[in-house]
Chains A and B, each alone.
Chain A
Amino acid sequence: MNNISRTRLFTMYLIYLGITFLILFFQLIPLNLFPEAWVGPDILLGVTLAWVTRQPEFVPILLVTVSFLLADFLLQRPPGLFALLVVIGTEYIKSHVNGLRYASFIEEWITAGFAITFIIVAFWCVQAVVGIGQAPFTMSLLHIVATIITYPAILFGSHIFFGIRKSPSHSDDSMGRRS
């Protein structure tokens, strides 16, 4: 962890926040007010999961909390609920990041897919249980599928543009070799 410079770390924090704002901005623009039959992917969720699986130190828990809480407030979701589920999902991935380091891309994708499914299904279930009026479950299902399908593209984009790659640098054995 120490071999990522402080400036790089803060730059990545800022980039993450910038991405959050950009996504929210483009979602809020009143371009199409007609309800659509299909649902687009949750890009913010995809980006967060991609970064967490690749380089968890770039998305600390507070950053995730802040950006998803802001999204909750602006996107008319029950405040705190989606953020809570995302935090649980990302923390779960973070605790298993050592296992994921040598995982193939497919395994990584499957893990992210499970996290996405868990977050969105749990979100729907909690809303149903506490009796909040919401869209039918098929829409959430489409949302899950769309997010999982776009995940590799998001991963690729993060790799190309922001240099988010697996960090063998702070895995234990390379550390041992270096010191």
Chain B
Amino acid sequence: MTKDRFHQDQYSRPIRRLLTGLVILILFGLFLFWRIDGPRVERIRAEVADQVLLRVNWLMTPVVSTIELFRNFQSYQYLAEQNRELRTELRQMNAWKEAALQLEQENARLLDLNNVRIDPRLTYITGNVVADSGSPFRQSVLLNIGSDDGVIDGWAAMDGIGLVGRISGVGKNTSRVLLLNDATSSVPATIQPSGQNTLVIGDNSSAPLLNFIEDSELVRPGDRVVSSGDGGVFPPGLLIGQVALDSSGKLRLRLSADFERLKFLRLIRYKNTETIDNPSYLVFPNPNLSQNWGEPNR
């Protein structure tokens, strides 16, 4: 038996070594390929997520609801206290609501007086969050709508109030939303009312950094930050959050969207606005006209 084993080892060891080398080579090749031709591998990743999610979705929903049920039990003891707080908040909100309504009416009247044409309302499609990124190093969620529903890479994702992230990776029935606080996310934004441009850069914390502000003297904590639409990434004017100062004096962004309870996300259908890339169209409206223009006698 010992001899047998020796023979077996003699053959199996080189084979095993070969296999190890092969596996290492393949994995390294895959990584290299991903680095060179990212989009293709990312498409494969979206498909893998799609297939896996499709198969375990039936299991995910009951497990999530069960866990949430237990969590709710825990929170019942806070309920009375919470109720009281909510009541006071509601009273304040009513006052705000009244003010908002009045302002809205006034705004509509003024717009009407000035004959202003506003962008048509952006249409949207709503998806359900089915999975998160699964690792503490990446901040993204998976939605249950994909290319079958017409989702396109790059669309903005919002919860009811604020911007949450953008679509990056679309499968057949799922799509991934890269959240604003992911380390690879950066979004051009405008700080109001000073009108300073900034970049909202995620760093895996709950409050993304605000960077590249031209004159940070003009920016105060509490200022509103909205998407600027620069670069054609997002439609302009979507609320993102408010400026905040962290303990080390850096400007950060307190997100308006409730990241603790992302359940339904709305994806803003957004085609890039028409860009004016040919300056001569502005000068000469029509080629026929410009021909006539050459002969002023006629």
Q: B-contacting residues of A (Cβ < 8 Å)?
A: 1-2, 24-25, 27-37, 39-40, 61-62, 65, 69-70, 73-81, 83-84, 87-88, 91, 130, 132-136, 139-140, 143, 175-176, 178-179
Residues of B within 8 A of A33 (CB): 129, 132, 139, 141, 179, 259-262
Contact B183 A84 (CB under 8 A): no
The answer to the question of B41 belonging to the interface, with a C-beta cut-off of 8 Å to chain A, is yes
In the complex, A43 Cα to B190 Cα: how many Å? 42
Interface centre among A61, A76, A143 (most CB of B within 10 A): A76
> Could you write out 12 A-B pairs with CB less than 8 Å apart?
A25-B63, A28-B134, A30-B64, A33-B179, A35-B139, A35-B205, A37-B205, A75-B138, A81-B27, A136-B203, A143-B136, A179-B1
In the complex, A32 Cα to B260 Cα: how many Å? 7
Given contacts A25-B56, A29-B60, A31-B67, contact A76 B30 (CB under 8 A): no
Contact A80 B30 (CB under 8 A): yes
Contact B135 A77 (CB under 8 A): yes
The answer to the question of B49 belonging to the interface, with a C-beta cut-off of 8 Å to chain A, is yes
Residues of A within 8 A of B203 (CB): 135-136
Given contacts A80-B30, A135-B204, contact A35 B136 (CB under 8 A): yes
Report the minimum CB–CB distance from B259 to chain A (whole Å).
Answer: 5
Residues of A within 8 A of B175 (CB): none
With A35-B136, A35-B206, A175-B2 given, can you name 4 additional A-B contacts, CB distance below 8 Å? Answer: A33-B132, A35-B139, A76-B45, A87-B20
Residues of B within 8 A of A62 (CB): 19, 23
Given contacts A80-B34, A179-B1, contact A75 B27 (CB under 8 A): no
Given contacts A79-B30, A136-B203, contact A74 B132 (CB under 8 A): no
Given contacts A80-B28, A175-B1, contact A29 B136 (CB under 8 A): no
The answer to the question of B87 belonging to the interface, with a C-beta cut-off of 8 Å to chain A, is no
The answer to the question of B24 belonging to the interface, with a C-beta cut-off of 8 Å to chain A, is yes
Q: Which residue of A lies closest to B131 (CB)?
A: A28
Chain B interface residue count, Cβ-Cβ cutoff 8 angstroms: 56
Contact A36 B63 (CB under 8 A): no
In the complex, A65 Cα to B23 Cα: how many Å? 8
The answer to the question of B140 belonging to the interface, with a C-beta cut-off of 8 Å to chain A, is yes
Q: Which residue of B lies closest to A179 (CB)?
A: B1
Given contacts A34-B259, A81-B31, contact A29 B133 (CB under 8 A): no
Given contacts A25-B59, A76-B138, A133-B183, contact A30 B132 (CB under 8 A): yes
Given contacts A30-B141, A80-B30, contact A73 B45 (CB under 8 A): yes
Residues of B within 8 A of A30 (CB): 64, 129-132, 141-142, 262
In the complex, A77 Cα to B133 Cα: how many Å? 10
The answer to the question of B48 belonging to the interface, with a C-beta cut-off of 8 Å to chain A, is yes
Given contacts A79-B34, A80-B30, A84-B27, contact A134 B67 (CB under 8 A): no
Q: Which residues of chain B in 91-148 are interfacial with respect to chain A, using CB atoms and an 8 Å cutoff?
A: 129-142
Contact B206 A61 (CB under 8 A): no
Q: Which residues of chain B in 7-64 are interfacial with respect to chain A, using CB atoms and an 8 Å cutoff?
A: 16, 19-20, 23-24, 26-31, 34-35, 41, 44-45, 48-49, 52, 56, 59-60, 63-64
